[in-house]
A and B are shown apart, each in its own frame.
Chain A
Amino acid sequence: GQQVMQIPQYQHVQEGEDFTTYCNSSTTLSNIQWYKQRPGGHPVFLIQLVKSGEVKKQKRLTFQFGEAKKNSSLHITATQTTDVGTYFCASSGNTGFQKLVFGTGTRLLVSP
């Protein structure tokens, strides 16, 4: 079945440091979505990428979709304590948007 692997599983940074999480698939993906889940909360949609090589920015967050559409990354510049949480990538593979399968997530801890 469709699998999306995410690394690292966990990262602890000092406030102000940068952070990157990577999402990899062995098959071509039609889309990638990114979500953030705060501790004790529910996942919240951040962004969707659909085009090869696409790059999107949201303030300090930069999202990329690989040229081969098999990988994606989320980079946070100058982390803040409000960035704490688990970041998930998700994809419906190459079958449209209905069957959304999540990666294993990267848990980010930011120390002040």
Chain B
Amino acid sequence: QKEVEQNSGPLSVPEGAIASLNCTYSDRGSQSFFWYRQYSGKSPELIMFIYSNGDKEDGRFTAQLNKASQYVSLLIRDSQPSDSATYLCAVRGTDKLIFGTGTRLQVFP
């Protein structure tokens, strides 16, 4: 079992819709969770982090964490074509981040 799992996608949503990206992790003791956006050929960009159970909102992005079920999700409201990218989930390991393989999101006009 991989430490951080994501559906590779692609997830296709129409412009203006809500995109929901999910991630599960295996280490029940994990404390910190991160979402990175990566455009094709570019490096990952940190867009959200969440440390406590519940929701955290930042603009059009909402991160949701459920430690009991060991999943973290990212919601993107009012999706735009410019949101089309790969979204990487990362979990804090011992002094490093452990990444999933990413979910490719496609937002079509």
- Do A and B associate with each other? no
Interface residues of A (CB under 8 A from B): none
